[in-house]
Structure 1
Amino acid sequence: MFIKDYISKDFPCFSLTDSIESARSTLEDFGYTHIFIKKSHHFYGAIAKDFLDEQEGTLKDLEHQIERFAILEDHNIMDSIRLFYTFNANVIPVINKNEKYVGYIGYEDIFQVLSRYPLFSESGAILTIETPVRKYSMTEIANIIESNNSKFYGGFISFMSDEAIQVTIKISNENLASIDSTFDRYDYRIVEKYYSDEKSDLFKDRFGFFQKFIEI
């Protein structure tokens, strides 16, 4: 799951001397949210599409709108998720350790990689449970599920405060009533639950989980 295994190289990195019109035309062709800028052969930053609309001149005129974000090619693809969310981007520039632009990774690339994992691909039940911070234990949560002869596909912290933690989990559909009762007995509060074993709901499950990853 290293970034370098998913890099695409067909999206150019512009120079400040390039025209705004050429950059805007390229964005229209690709459908991305940002263009990338290099300066003195090193990656310099990105400019959002909104700043290119109805503008003329060169990209130098928009230098004050440059945002500095990129990901190193030897990082894990999970490291890119916060960048997509923080910069409201559907494309992230990839650089090497010398800060040279080597390509990009798109939102779709991440979605396709994650959707192959059981957390997203398996049909099952989605639960969000809440517990006091002092009691939080992912090991205990997994044990509760597996002790009721259900499969634990994975989970993540979807909310955290000084007092409480909410954990969203994906499990198989076996013995759901028993799992609910066991969580209640161990003082876990079920905040949300979605039970379905229909194959037609798989895409909905995947997209919902991916959105939650983006938001944290």
Structure 2
Amino acid sequence: MFVQEYITKDYPTFSLQDEIRNAFFAASEFGFTHIIVEENGDFIGMIPRECLVENESGSIEQLKPYLEKFALLEETQIWDTIKLFHTFNTNIIPVISMQEKYLGYVDYTDIFHEFAGYPLFSENGAVLTIQTQSLHYSFSEISQIVESNQAKIYGCFISEINDENIHITLKISSENLSSIGETFERYGYTIIQKYYHDEKSELIKDRFAFFQKYLEI
């Protein structure tokens, strides 16, 4: 999935000559954290809405010191949006060409909606966080342990890492969960967290709370 498939253009952009109050009104109406600044199709940068509140009069030109230069190329994978959403505390990311021409933007709600349909979030199962030595990390071994207990991996990500240890969070089918945990321990893994409920509809009450773990990487 590429960013270009999720580009939207209904949010207005602003030039440095436009009035701050108009930009603030648009950002408030759309509920976005930033305004997009461009000149003759060239992407200039993003300005946080909070800066507009503190400087209600005048033109956007006077807010140039607050410009934040972040964007994505249209050929970028949607996974790369996650880090930008988190790093810049934003809910909107501009999309540009190789020549830095403004093409549109992606909205975090569209991206999160796409991720919500992935088995990592949509399938019922158990969430298991395990720890092992960083040098010992082997995804093939982890897969073998889960699959040897007649279970499936729906998703996996590294939730913490340092020179000594690594934490791996797994979303797995809930069959033989106790056996899976015991097998991991026999292979030298430590079970850090295990989340499971017999009522499948209650297994993950908020899928985006689980997704937030990824955003904190």
Give the TM-score normalised by the residue count of structure 1.
0.96
**1:198 corresponds to:** 200
Write the mapping of 1:132-171 to structure 2, written as runs, cut at 5 A: 132-171=133-172
Q: Specify the code of the residue in structure 2 equivalent to 1:182.
A: T
**1:45 corresponds to:** 45
**2:83 corresponds to:** 82
Deviations 1:53-80 (A, max 9, x none): 0421000010100000000111110011
Q: Specify the code of the residue in structure 1 equivalent to 2:200.
A: E
**2:176 corresponds to:** 175
1:14 aligns with 2:14: yes
**Distance in 1, Cα, partners of 2:213 & 2:135:** 24
**Distance in 2, Cα, partners of 1:40 & 1:174:** 58
Deviations 1:128-182 (A, max 9, x none): 1000011101111111011000111110000000000000000011001100100
Deviations 1:89-128 (A, max 9, x none): 0111111122111111111111111111111100110011
Structure 2 unaligned spans of 5+: none
Moved more, 16-25 or 48-57: 48-57
**2:94 corresponds to:** 93
Q: Specify the code of the residue in structure 2 equivalent to 1:151.
A: K
Instruction: Point out 4+ residue stretches in structure 1 off by more than 3 angstroms.
Output: 200-203
**Distance in 1, Cα, partners of 2:102 & 2:116:** 27
Give the percent of matched residue pairs that are identical in Structure 1 and Structure 2. Answer: 50
* Alpha-carbon contact 1:145-1:151 (below 8 Å) kept: yes
Three-state SS of the structure 1 residue aligned to 2:8 is coil
Give the TM-score normalised by the residue count of structure 2.
0.96
* Alpha-carbon contact 1:122-1:202 (below 8 Å) kept: no
Q: Specify the code of the residue in structure 1 equivalent to 2:61.
A: K
Q: Specify the code of the residue in structure 2 equivalent to 1:120.
A: F
Structure 1 position 40, deviation (Å): 4.7
**Distance in 1, Cα, partners of 2:202 & 2:10:** 34
**1:30 corresponds to:** 30
Structure 1 position 208, deviation (Å): 2.2
**Distance in 1, Cα, partners of 2:188 & 2:196:** 21
1:187 aligns with 2:199: no
**Distance in 1, Cα, partners of 2:166 & 2:147:** 21
Three-state SS of the structure 2 residue aligned to 1:14 is coil
Q: Specify the code of the residue in structure 2 equivalent to 1:53.
A: V
Structure 1 unaligned spans of 5+: none
Q: Specify the code of the residue in structure 2 equivalent to 1:164.
A: N
Structure 1 position 42, deviation (Å): 0.8
